[in-house]
Structure 1
Amino acid sequence: MKKAMLAASLMAAGVTAAYAQSSVTLYGRLDGGLEYVNGLKDGHRFEAESGDWGTSLWGLKGTEDLGGGTQAVFRLEEGFTLQNGTVGGGSGQLFNRYALVGLSNNVWGTFEMGRSLFISNGVWDFDPFVQENWSSASLVRGRNWPQVSNSFNYQSPKFYGFDFAGQYALGNSTNFNGNSSAGTSSAISSTGRADGAQITYTGSFFEVRGIFDEIRDGNGQFSNLFAYSREYTAAVNLVFGPVKIQGAYQHLNANAVTDNGPTSGDHEWLGVTYQFTPAFALTGGGYHINVNRGGGNATLYEATGTYNLSKRTFLYVTGATVQNSSTANFSLFAEPPDNSAAFNTTSQTAIQNSQNPLPGHSQTGFFAGIDHSF
């Protein structure tokens, strides 16, 4: 009898252990280098820089097996400035990029909730310059890479080459019926609801993706083309041996602009990467934007070379220039417009620190550095 009870106890313990299998992974990226830019309002600069290739970050992610193909999942991730160790990309937030918990199932997909990158970041896979500091976010003034809080996220499994993702975020409010700007005295509308969906098809030598997303201000309006607007994206990757061709078209629309700013914009890009050797690759390409209401147009030309020292460490060098029409002042950086009330405080600090060139002027820069992942 005692032996039977002992065997039953061991079996129960074994089942418990199987259900409790879990893993936690520490990961991160360190990116640092040197940067030179001219065409700034105050001339030029040469400085040490962190995150020109990609954000320096660290994070934790993990799973717990719940049985039946279902897992509990979590992810915590923050960006930081390598040069001085400032966390949260200068915002002071601990986990400014991801703070998620959810469930994942092999058949039904993954559902997570918390803080996340916005779904518009899905262009990363189709950006020839992988959302470097000068890339697909530059000419849309950062519209392609925001984060959202209080979000609900779903990612499906692949089904005959297709997969689907959806996101709904409450913004700065935790209340489904709340107004995120209510009760504040700030002249800046806080970020309101944000949502979007994307569908992707992956074939043997190509990949296509469509994204629809929208970000509202604290009053629920689309009041700024580069901050609170709707965005439509169609993107494609083509791979032919060592050659990869990447392109996309985006349309932005904001129907509640009240400061005579632009209400519509068209943004497209094309780039080619050639993998000369397993270690060395070269990418060249360009981005173009045209906005209405006298906002003008701009073209950004860019080239990048990378050399892999190992599977986790590589060197890079990038050069780029942006050419503006007479009324445009787009920057290499994802810089907000100088006169945008949606971005600037009454002290005009953001305007004083702007990296935009003067209207009609060009801007050129180079950066080089080292990137290590762990």
Structure 2
Amino acid sequence: MKVRNSVLLIGMAIAANAHAQSSVEIYGIIDTGVMYASNVGGHSNWLADPDTIAPNLFGFRGTEDLGGGLKAIFKLEGMFSLNNGASVNGLFGHETYVGLRDDRWGTLTAGNQIDFMFYSLVVDHWGSAFPFVNSMSLRQGSFSGLNIPGPPGNNSFDFDRTLGAPIENSVKYMSPTIGGLSAGAQYSFGGQAGSFGQNSAQSFGLNYHIGAVALNGAYTYVKYPELNNGNDGIRNMGLAASWAVGPTVLAAMYTSTQNTENGARVSVYETDVNWTVSPFLHANLAYQYMKGNDVLKGQKAHQETLSLIYSLSRRTSIYSALALQQASGGPAWISLVPGPASGGRQTAVDIGLLHVF
């Protein structure tokens, strides 16, 4: 009976695929390498598989043509450790959703979805330069006073969400692009009886392209159970601009991150230059200045990051990056380095291999 039922289900799936003009794609990224950090708690450190260009992930995405420009869409995406094969945040914990996309009216999805601090300020902002930016140039710093809920002892990792963090139980709408302008909104239901806003989250994004110029804005506010019983949270907002000039993309970005419970806030000012040296070689130079407010006792950090990526083929690349951070008021801490320095200086170098399928 089990065999007959299985055959029936397979037959139904094949029939559905034959009549619905649907497509399903399996995809993934494998990124491995080594990193050297000059000062982690006073000692140099070597790290395997740092995922500095992209996380190791795999997923399924698909569409079904419903006619009249309307499509059903889905995505199931998870991260894993290349060292031991273990899933990160569950089997499909990175981004999962199902929804509808219409050529005229936009896209509506529901699920576990990454917010607009990533999609507007990183993906759309950098555009064609996005695949060549090393994650070490994104946010860390030793701003533990932000008190962002998460892994113990790391209360400032990716504090402005530019690495891409999902929001659970969220509904998201993305408009079509009209005259170079597109906008999006996302809301997560907290699920607290009698309190609509408790443990909730919201995010908005705005993107405008005019010729070789891109202008972006984003806002995300996530309330956490650990902060005032879900009535306070971490508020992020940011503005960005980029300009493509021949083989070069010039970019600037500002973000502000605030804990609404204790008033701690960090502002980040960043400039980037991405240069396409040849169709195979790309270079990115980034500078960022991070500054905490009075609650954080004026902590500051400067960071410079130079990254190179060389394409061996359409799917396989080698890369390397050098990052230097100088901090005052607290120890230096570069993104993806396993811990803060014993003082105000930290240097990290990585080299790796990236394969996309």
Task: Please state which band the TM-score falls in when normalised by the shorter chain.
Answer: 0.7 to 0.9
Distance 1:284 1:57 in 2: 26
TM-score, with length taken from structure 1: 0.78
Distance 1:167 1:69 in 2: 23
Structure 1 segment 216-255 matched on structure 2, within 5 A? 216-218=223-225, 219-222=229-232, 228-255=233-260
**Equivalent position to 1:298, from 283, 296, 301:** 301
Structure 1 segment 109-124 matched on structure 2, within 5 A? 109-122=106-119, 123-124=121-122
Give the superposition deviation at 1:329.
Answer: 2.5
Distance 1:23 1:37 in 2: 44
Q: Which has the larger radius of gyration?
A: 1
SS in 2 for 1:160: coil
Measured against aligned partners, the alpha-carbon deviations of 1:51-89 in whole angstroms (never above 9, x if no partner) come to 12110100000011111211111000001111221112x
Distance 1:334 1:99 in 2: 24
In structure 1, the residue matched to 2:351 is: 368
Give the superposition deviation at 1:47.
Answer: 3.0
SS in 2 for 1:101: strand
**CA contact under 8 A between 1:170 and 1:176: conserved in structure 2?**
no
**CA contact under 8 A between 2:117 and 2:218: conserved in structure 1?**
yes
Paired letter, 1:274? W
Structure 1 segment 204-353 matched on structure 2, within 5 A? 204-218=211-225, 219-222=229-232, 228-257=233-262, 263-292=264-293, 293=295, 294-325=297-328, 327-333=329-335
Measured against aligned partners, the alpha-carbon deviations of 1:106-145 in whole angstroms (never above 9, x if no partner) come to 1111111011123221222236776633122324631213
Alignment pair present for 1:356 and 2:347: no
In structure 2, the residue matched to 1:198 is: 205
Distance change >3 Å, CA 25–CA 176, structure 1 → 2: farther
Paired letter, 1:265? V
Distance change >3 Å, CA 105–CA 46, structure 1 → 2: same
Structure 1 segment 117-196 matched on structure 2, within 5 A? 117-122=114-119, 123-125=121-123, 126=125, 132-139=134-141, 141-143=157-159, 144=161, 145-170=164-189, 173=191, 177=195, 192-196=199-203
Alignment RMSD: 2.3
TM-score, with length taken from structure 2: 0.82
**CA contact under 8 A between 1:142 and 1:334: conserved in structure 2?**
no
Give the superposition deviation at 1:193.
Answer: 1.4
**CA contact under 8 A between 1:114 and 1:151: conserved in structure 2?**
yes
Distance 1:299 1:329 in 2: 12
In structure 1, the residue matched to 2:8 is: none
SS in 1 for 2:310: strand
Structure 1 segment 68-107 matched on structure 2, within 5 A? 68-88=68-88, 91=89, 93-107=90-104
**CA contact under 8 A between 1:150 and 1:174: conserved in structure 2?**
no
Paired letter, 2:106? G
Instruction: Structure 1 unaligned segments of length 5 or more: list them.
Output: 1-15, 181-191, 223-227, 336-353
Distance change >3 Å, CA 248–CA 108, structure 1 → 2: same
Instruction: Structure 2 unaligned segments of length 5 or more: list them.
Output: 1-15, 142-155
Measured against aligned partners, the alpha-carbon deviations of 1:181-231 in whole angstroms (never above 9, x if no partner) come to xxxxxxxxxxx2111111100122111101111111222333xxxxx3211
Distance 2:332 2:47 in 1: 21
**CA contact under 8 A between 2:319 and 2:352: conserved in structure 1?**
yes
**CA contact under 8 A between 2:290 and 2:301: conserved in structure 1?**
yes
Bigger strand share: 2
Distance change >3 Å, CA 41–CA 312, structure 1 → 2: same
**CA contact under 8 A between 1:129 and 1:135: conserved in structure 2?**
no
In structure 2, the residue matched to 1:187 is: none
Distance change >3 Å, CA 231–CA 278, structure 1 → 2: same
- State the percentage of identical aligned residues: 25
